[in-house]
Amino acid sequence: MLSNMTFRSVVDTNGSTKLKQGDEVYGWIPLAQVVPTKQGTLQEYITLPELNVAKRQSNVSEIEAAGVTLTALTAL
């Protein structure tokens, strides 16, 4: 199930104080949010708390950003 809990994407719209539309981000969806929909990151749009999203830095490639969340969760 972890395969559809992590993502790399672009902010479409938000009410965030630290992110703006068009920012490239990566992160994870809490299990409690994945279970009801049974889709996780396979959905076209998702809404998440800021704590679950990080802005992709320019020195991190898109491929690295896509994999870093699962790697970090595995290390825990």
Tens-digit pLDDT string for the chain (76 aa) = 455 778 888 888 767 778 888 999 988 887 777 777 677 777 788 888 888 888 998 898 888 887 787 777 777 7
**Which residues, at least 6 apart from 42, have a Cβ–Cβ distance to it below 8 Å?**
4
Determine contact, residues 49/32, Cβ cutoff 8 Å: no
pLDDT at residue 37 in the model: 66
Q: pTM for this one?
A: 0.73
| Single-letter amino acid, residue 58 | S
DSSP 8-class letter at 45? -
Number of structural domains in the chain: 1
Residue 46: give the domain boundaries. 2-75
